[in-house]
Structure 1
């Protein structure tokens, strides 16, 4: 009896310690999401200027805001101890990430095509508007800045929603399925102001990128794919404007 009691008493502190660390991980996730994304989610509206990418000032302000957030998240992650990068799939970039990144962008378009087709058949207005692709680029001189901003967006959103969020949810004990559902819902919620169809399109994008991220185990592949998809949307709007 005493041996069983002593063994049980040794287990209790370990369980308590594990729960304490899990609570800390959950609190960290909530605080970072609240600081980085929640204000924009709460105050989102439909009065978004579709011409904003034609402004050099916008690109400068966006980079000034986003790059420090990327640096802060990486700084917090690197303080997690030995091999901190493993749960978050943070590896050095490899030349193979570039072609796989391009393929990831193509995969996103392929996933959206059925939704675009259904929208064009059953909904009024352009199919692009139905899935929330409403950005308009008229100034070709902005293309270099658009590419930089698009890739920055890709790295920032994939670093948080795929690398950090998926890794953190798995770390606190959620299954792969539940971690995927929570990550995709949070990612798509940023487009609820555009309506259910655009939010569904964003959820599809999130699901495709999460699948690729888990399969490739590389942030760079999905970040490049995400960024190139964003860039292609604006590039197509520029081409259609000239047409």
Structure 2
């Protein structure tokens, strides 16, 4: 194993420990000063792109091939079904966001569902741009390449496929511990689904796009229900 691979694996081990040690302080900082939210977005993107840069160096040095990490496209039935599913999911999400923008009927219920992570979600136009176009796309590309592309490839030399899926999914869930213990499991289960899609399509492309669509939808949904309505702004000014 090349020394950069040890560095990359070390990063994946240390990263959730770092999040565990710092996330509460980060959360309280954003709650006390919401303007810090964009700084958190920037740090998150940097933390994700750094290990991917190491991975790309390994690829450039031919220690790992593009196909090893799923950066290829297979014109098979599985990918065709995947693309069709992405179109349907994307269309459903767009219709859902359209309904939310036209009616506030369900906003309160959604705000309650987002309570555990509300401190991190966008509440302004600028924050929503950072989250949707920055954090969401970064998370989709980087996490899929790291946990599905690289980690599954590396683990495949040491254990059967079911073990690869389980370990890589748990590794994917752990950095999300800032959301709470139950959401580590939820994220790991999502990781398991992404891993199965990756295995079925033999390409990381569909998981990346699906991951991006889900995260972008989450950011847009949060912005729609957490942004201040004109009446709320007027009420604040009158205080």
Task: Quote how far apart the aligned CAs of 1:206 are.
Answer: 0.5
2:13 is equivalent to residue 32 of structure 1: no
- For residues 140 and 181 of structure 1, do their structure 2 counterparts lie closer, same or farther at Cα, with a shift above 3 Å needed? same
The 1-side partners of 2:215 and 2:222 are apart by 11
Query: Which residue number in structure 1 is paired with residue 71 of structure 2?
Result: 90
- Structure 2: 5+ residue stretches without partners: 93-110, 230-239
- For residues 53 and 147 of structure 1, do their structure 2 counterparts lie closer, same or farther at Cα, with a shift above 3 Å needed? farther
The 1-side partners of 2:59 and 2:215 are apart by 26
Task: Quote how far apart the aligned CAs of 1:57 are.
Answer: 4.6
Q: TM-score, normalised by structure 1?
A: 0.65
Which whole-Å deviations, capped at 9, do the CAs of 1:68-117 have from their partners, x for residues lacking one? Answer: 53232122134236x8223321126999776655567899xxxxxxxxxx
- For residues 71 and 205 of structure 1, do their structure 2 counterparts lie closer, same or farther at Cα, with a shift above 3 Å needed? same
Query: Which residue number in structure 1 is paired with residue 215 of structure 2?
Result: 230
Determine if contact 2:16/2:174 at 8 Å carries over to the other structure: no
2:200 is equivalent to residue 215 of structure 1: yes
Aligned length: 199
- For residues 192 and 67 of structure 1, do their structure 2 counterparts lie closer, same or farther at Cα, with a shift above 3 Å needed? closer
2:62 is equivalent to residue 80 of structure 1: yes
- Structure 1: 5+ residue stretches without partners: 1-23, 108-124
Pick from 145, 150, 161 the counterpart of residue 159 of structure 1. Answer: 145
- Structure showing greater radius of gyration is 1
Question: What is the correspondence of 1:111-122 to structure 2 with a 5 Å cutoff?
Answer: none
Structure with greater helix share of residues: 2
Determine if contact 1:154/1:224 at 8 Å carries over to the other structure: yes
The 1-side partners of 2:198 and 2:147 are apart by 11
- For residues 68 and 193 of structure 1, do their structure 2 counterparts lie closer, same or farther at Cα, with a shift above 3 Å needed? closer
**RMSD (CA atoms):** 3.7
Task: Quote how far apart the aligned CAs of 1:219 are.
Answer: 1.6
- For residues 68 and 184 of structure 1, do their structure 2 counterparts lie closer, same or farther at Cα, with a shift above 3 Å needed? closer
Task: Quote how far apart the aligned CAs of 1:31 are.
Answer: 3.3
